[in-house]
Amino acid sequence: MAEDVCEIVVTGGDAEWLSGYTRTLVEERLVACGHQLAAIRSVYRWEGAVHDEPEARVALHTRRSLVPEVVARTAELHPYEVPCVIALPVLGGHPGYLDWVVRETREPGSREGGTRP
């Protein structure tokens, strides 16, 4: 595998919004795919108060080198002032799947598709 793959976790208050957001990132080839969990519960402190809210979560699979672009695009699209966007390393996996993630995403800074075999 020529490039490292990572998983980016993003949460949002609305599962439908998160689905549209994920589709946009796939269409833009910033991510290869997203696995969404529609019902999670988020407990957090914000502006001095503890909140307990329903949310949705997506795990996005992409090239590690695209993380800055995904973070920037999320800041443009996300309704939250400070969205949860964290990148986690993928330490291993099925070689074919990891190669597919790289093929289905574009080179950083490019508008074109990923590398082809």
- Residue-range domains of the chain with CATH: 5-103 (3.30.70.120)
pLDDT of residue 116: 38
Cα–Cα distances (Å) from 49 to 27, 43, 45, 46, 52, in that order, read 38, 11, 5, 6, 10
Q: What is the pTM of this model?
A: 0.90
Q: Tokens 């599962």 correspond to what residue?
A: 15
Token code pair at residue 10: 């993003």
Residue 100: helix, strand or coil by DSSP?
Answer: helix
Token code pair at residue 110: 């490019």
Specify the higher pLDDT residue, 113 or 40: 40
pLDDT in tens, 66-94: 999 999 999 999 999 999 999 999 999 99
Give the residue-averaged pLDDT of 49-73: 97
pLDDT in tens, 11-39: 999 999 999 999 999 999 999 999 999 89
Q: What is the DSSP letter of 29?
A: T
- Gap between the Cα atoms of 75 and 69, Å rounded: 10
